Structures are given as structure tokens and as C-alpha cells.
């Protein structure tokens, strides 16, 4: 054995204080929306599957695990039946999965009933997918939850465990969660579980809520600057918060994880590619231009983007349509959090004075909220681009029902600003869509086009849209 059992015993006891009767400490009282999903899995995993909690680094996956462990103990689960380990720890990484379980057995037999394994950053261990598959297939008394801040591609010849686990995608903090973690008072607003409810409101309802929501405007801009990484959100200094975010993304993910997990050696080129994506957040990916600008070959850039997606740093949207429309179309890329680009590009509060960059940040934030709110319903997300470069930013497709979203974070939005949305709704016979606006007063329905078949749009201020999408997720 590379590591002595005594050293491993010490590490495990530090990570599992409940074995000695001590509950997890310093846990936040508020809980993220994903907490409920984890507890449902712990009580009754679908088809006996393991759970993979996937998401970028530093977004609260470990805290969620500890909150679930604390709740299980409170519900009467034997503390000796719960094991937590993180493979970010060098000794546990050296020991590996099998040695870890063997050692746990030697420390004393767990009690009767279900045994819970909570394993952090499992991608740092060898052949974890095969190991997890075998555990699910043959160890029916174990419930295994793992986290991964980067999901390595399955190598040739490696047996995949896909189909043996349920995946929960954990995004960075939503706007509502940001208000909770910062302990910022939110205005009393009516509950809206779906934006479709707004179509039943009266003109007085829109005016009243717009007035009530005034405090959200400044808080939303602060959220865009600080972002949804919990440690950064809690730092008082904006300069320090953005510095920490740069270090977490550039130093820990691009320079460390990409080398350790994916064997990337061309770190400088990878970092340049990521910087290019920060400059074009929410835009169409122009591979020829990117390759020419950075003097990189297309396969290299495509591989870099695949790795950034696997590390949960970017989302990729395909063009709306079928067959050749999708295959020939360029993807649209969003960063995982609106604050990443201004932090990496050292914008600071200057973001709020740059109309173009601010609009990109709002579009990125809104996409993250609508994706997080609805991805579990197997919604397909895409964008649409028509003639004369007319475009619809985001399209959600639910069982054949198409809902378009257009982000216009500027002054009052009129029909002349929505030519792309008008063309798309006309071509696809879409009756309803949403326009995400800037001003709280720019709120309410508007008709697009003429005739009975004309689309009816709902203008929703971005701060309210993100608040409601994340607030309803918590309910």
C-alpha cells in the first residue's frame, strides 16, 4: 500500500466526524433547490441508480452533500452507515476507490440497513465509471452519490457506466439563491410558478409589481458582477471577488484539471481559446475566425471547446431545426456564469457602462436560469437565425411545443426591435413568446403582427424573470 492505513484512518475520521457523534458544522441554514432532489434520491433512487451531481468547481457541491448527510442523520440513519470522502485530497486519491472501501470495512462494521457513500470529485480516480457500474449492479445495499466538476470522455475500451446513475446538473447560484446567501432583503412579490401565468394578469397587476420590484434592479446588476460562485458572492470587495473567480477558473480548472484529467499540455492555447469565448459570450461560434485569430488548427480548437464543456464552463446551443439545418449551422456558446467574462477580462464595474457587454451578461444569466429551471423536463434548447441575420436568442422545445425568448436589455422595446422574433413566430405559427427587457416599467403583453394568428408576446424585465424562474425552482 502506498499510503499507510493509519494516515488514511486519520483523514477519514476528519471528513466523517459523525462517526464520533459530531454533526457537520458551519453549514448554511438555507438550502439550494437541488437539495430536495438529492433527498428524494436518498430516500428512493430511481431503479436503484447512483447519483452524479455534476457542475463546475466551487459552486457548492460539497456543501450540498454535507447538508444531505446532516438531514439523513437527523432522520435517524445510523451515522456509521455514511461515508464521505473527497478525492481532491492527495492521500485519498493515491489510495483509490477499492482501497478506500476496504479500509472503511477494517475500521469497524457498519450497522444494518442502507449504506451511503458520498464521494467528491470522483473524476480524479481511475476507471471510476466501471467501478460505479459494478457497485450499482452488485452492491444493492449501497447508495452512492458522487460529484464531478469535470467529466472525462470515456476512453476507448473502458466500460461505460452510463445508465447506472441519475444526473443532477448543478449550476452556479441563481439570482434568488444569491439573495439568500447574501442575506439581502427581497421585495414582497406575488408567486409566479410559470411565466405563462403572466398572460392572465391585468394592466394594474403589471404596474403594481413593477413598482414593488424596484429594489431588484440594483441587486440584479450586483449579481451580474459577482456571479453565482458562493465564495465569490460572499466577498465584500468586488475586486477581490473577481480575482478569486479568475483564480478558480484559470488556475484551478484550465491549468490544473485540464492537465490532470485530460492530459492537456497546450495550456497557453487553451487559455487563449477560453479568453476568445469570454469576448464572444452568447455569440455564434465562428471557428474559422477563431482558428485564424489564434493560429490554431480546427481539430485543436474543437477539442478545447469539448473539454471546456465537459468541465461545465460553457453551454452549447445548436441551431433550431432538423437535419442539415443543425449539422451545417454554427453553435452558440454561453459561459456557465455571467460574471466569468467580466472577471476574466478585468472589466470590474465598467461592465455596467458597456451596453453590449452588459446585454451579453444578461443573456447569459437568463439562459442559465431558464435552462436550470426546465432541463429536467427534457427540454431541447436551441437558437434560430433567419434571413438578414435576424435571430431569436433562445428557443425551448417541449414535446413539440416551441417557446421563443428574445433578450433586449436596452430602453423601451418596441415591435421594430423584434423583427427576428416576428419572422420566427410567423414561419412556425408560434402563438406566444417572451421578450426579456431592462426597464421594470417595460413589463406586460404586446401583440406582434396582425390578425387572429398573430403572436402575443410577454415583456418581462430580466431581474423579475430570473427572480421568478429561480424562486419557483425553490418551491
Q: Are residues 186 and 164 in the same domain?
A: no
Close Cβ partners of 4 (under 8 Å, ≥ 6 residues apart): none
Q: How many CB atoms lie within 10 A of CB 198?
A: 21
Q: Are residues 258 and 325 in the same domain?
A: yes
Give the C-alpha separation, 395 to 380, whole Å: 8
The dihedrals phi and psi of 85, each to the nearest 5 degrees, come to -150, 145
Sole residue written with cell 406566444? 432
Give the C-alpha separation, 391 to 209, whole Å: 30
Q: Are residues 43 and 187 in the same domain?
A: no
Q: What is the pLDDT of residue 333?
A: 96
Q: What is the pLDDT of residue 160?
A: 52
Close Cβ partners of 54 (under 8 Å, ≥ 6 residues apart): 147, 148, 149, 151, 167, 168, 169, 170, 312
- Three-state SS for 464? helix
| Grid cell in block for residue 76 | 435517524
Average pLDDT by stretches of 10, the chain with 475 residues? 82 93 86 92 86 90 95 94 93 90 78 90 87 88 88 45 78 94 90 93 96 96 95 92 88 83 87 95 94 95 92 92 70 96 93 95 96 78 90 88 93 89 90 94 84 76 96 66
Q: Are residues 219 and 334 in the same domain?
A: yes
- Three-state SS for 460? strand
Q: Are 362 and 462 in contact (CB under 8 A)?
A: yes
Q: Are residues 122 and 147 in the same domain?
A: yes
The dihedrals phi and psi of 316, each to the nearest 5 degrees, come to -125, 125
Q: Are 244 and 227 in contact (CB under 8 A)?
A: no
The domain boundary, picked from 170, 195, 220, lies at: 170
Q: What is the pLDDT of residue 155?
A: 38
Rounded to 5°, angle at Cα 226 from 220 and 231 = 125
The domain boundary, picked from 118, 145, 170, lies at: 170
Q: Are residues 192 and 100 in the same domain?
A: no
The domain boundary, picked from 123, 152, 170, lies at: 170
List C-alpha distances in Å: 32 to 145, 188, 470.
Answer: 17, 20, 10
DSSP string computed for 329-397: SPPEEEESSTTHHHHHTT-GGGGGG-HHHHHHHHHHHHHHHHHHHHGGGT-EEEEEE-GGG-EEEEEEE
Give the C-alpha separation, 56 to 257, whole Å: 11
| Grid cell in block for residue 177 | 439563491
Q: How many domains does the chain have?
A: 2
CATH number at residue 152: 3.40.50.300
Q: Are residues 156 and 249 in the same domain?
A: no
In which domain, by residue range, is 460 found?
176-474
Q: What is the pLDDT of residue 172?
A: 95
DSSP string computed for 389-419: G-EEEEEEEETTEEEEEEEE-SSS--GGG-H
| Grid cell in block for residue 353 | 457602462
Q: Are residues 112 and 195 in the same domain?
A: no
Q: What is the pLDDT of residue 263?
A: 82
Longest CA pairwise span in the chain (Å): 78
Q: What is the pLDDT of residue 211?
A: 96
Q: Are residues 306 and 320 in the same domain?
A: yes
Mode of pairing for the β-strands spanning 115-120 and 142-148: parallel
Mode of pairing for the β-strands spanning 444-448 and 391-398: unpaired
Q: Are residues 373 and 405 in the same domain?
A: yes
Q: Are residues 72 and 129 in the same domain?
A: yes
C-alpha closest to that of 31 among 469, 474, 341, 344:
474
Close Cβ partners of 62 (under 8 Å, ≥ 6 residues apart): 86, 120, 147
Q: Are residues 146 and 256 in the same domain?
A: no
Amino acid at each position: 500500500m502506498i499510503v499507510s492505513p493509519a494516515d488514511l484512518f486519520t483523514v477519514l475520521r476528519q471528513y466523517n466526524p459523525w462517526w464520533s457523534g459530531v454533526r457537520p458544522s458551519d453549514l448554511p441554514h438555507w438550502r439550494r433547490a437541488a437539495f430536495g432532489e438529492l433527498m428524494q434520491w436518498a430516500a428512493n433512487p430511481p431503479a436503484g441508480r447512483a447519483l452524479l451531481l455534476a457542475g463546475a468547481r466551487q459552486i457548492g457541491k460539497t456543501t450540498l452533500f454535507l447538508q444531505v448527510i446532516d438531514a439523513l442523520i437527523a432522520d435517524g440513519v445510523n451515522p456509521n452507515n455514511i461515508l464521505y470522502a473527497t478525492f481532491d485530497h492527495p492521500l485519498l486519491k493515491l489510495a483509490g476507490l477499492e482501497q478506500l472501501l476496504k479500509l472503511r470495512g477494517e475500521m469497524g462494521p457498519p450497522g444494518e440497513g442502507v449504506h451511503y457513500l458520498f464521494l467528491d470529485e470522483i473524476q480524479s480516480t481511475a476507471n471510476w465509471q466501471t467501478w460505479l457500474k459494478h457497485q450499482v449492479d452488485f452492491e444493492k445495499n449501497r447508495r452512492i452519490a458522487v460529484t464531478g466538476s469535470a467529466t472525462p470522455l470515456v476512453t476507448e475500451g473502458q466500460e461505460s457506466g452510463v445508465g447506472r446513475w441519475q444526473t443532477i446538473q448543478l449550476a452556479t447560484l441563481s439570482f434568488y439563491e444569491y439573495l439568500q446567501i447574501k442575506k439581502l432583503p427581497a421585495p414582497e412579490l406575488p408567486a409566479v410558478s410559470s411565466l405563462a401565468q403572466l398572460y392572465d394578469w391585468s394592466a394594474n397587476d403589471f404596474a403594481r409589481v413593477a413598482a414593488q420590484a424596484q429594489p431588484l434592479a440594483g441587486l440584479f446588476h450586483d449579481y451580474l458582477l459577482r456571479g453565482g460562485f458562493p465564495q465569490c458572492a460572499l466577498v465584500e470587495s468586488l475586486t477581490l471577488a473577481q480575482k478569486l473567480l479568475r483564480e478558480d477558473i484559470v488556475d484551478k480548472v484550465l491549468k490544473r484539471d485540464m492537465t490532470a484529467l485530460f492530459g492537456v499540455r497546450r495550456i497557453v492555447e487553451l487559455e487563449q481559446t477560453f479568453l476568445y469565448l469570454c469576448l464572444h459570450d452568447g455569440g455564434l461560434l465562428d471557428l474559422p475566425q477563431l482558428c485564424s485569430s489564434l493560429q490554431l488548427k480546427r481539430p485543436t480548437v474543437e477539442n478545447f471547446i469539448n473539454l471546456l464543456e465537459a468541465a461545465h464552463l460553457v453551454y452549447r446551443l445548436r441551431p433550431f431545426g432538423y437535419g442539415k439545418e443543425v449539422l451545417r449551422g454554427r453553435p452558440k456558446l454561453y459561459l456557465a456564469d455571467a460574471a466569468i467574462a467580466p472577471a476574466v477580462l478585468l472589466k470590474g464595474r465598467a461592465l455596467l457602462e458597456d451596453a453590449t457587454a452588459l446585454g451579453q451578461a444578461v443573456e447569459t444569466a437568463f439562459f442559465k436560469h431558464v435552462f436550470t429551471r426546465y432541463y429536467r423536463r427534457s427540454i431541447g434548447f436551441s437558437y434560430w437565425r433567419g434571413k438578414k441575420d435576424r435571430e431569436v436568442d433562445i428557443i425551448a422545445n417541449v414535446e413539440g411545443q416551441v417557446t421563443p425568448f428574445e433578450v433586449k436589455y436596452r430602453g423601451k422595446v418596441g415591435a421594430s426591435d423584434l423583427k427576428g422574433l416576428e419572422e420566427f413566430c410567423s414561419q412556425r405559427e408560434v402563438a406566444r413568446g417572451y421578450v426579456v427587457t431592462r426597464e421594470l416599467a417595460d413589463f406586460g403583453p404586446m401583440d406582434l403582427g396582425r390578425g387572429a394568428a398573430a403572436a402575443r408576446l410577454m415583456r418581462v424585465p430580466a431581474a423579475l424573470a430570473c427572480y421568478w424562474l429561480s424562486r419557483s425552482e425553490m418551491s
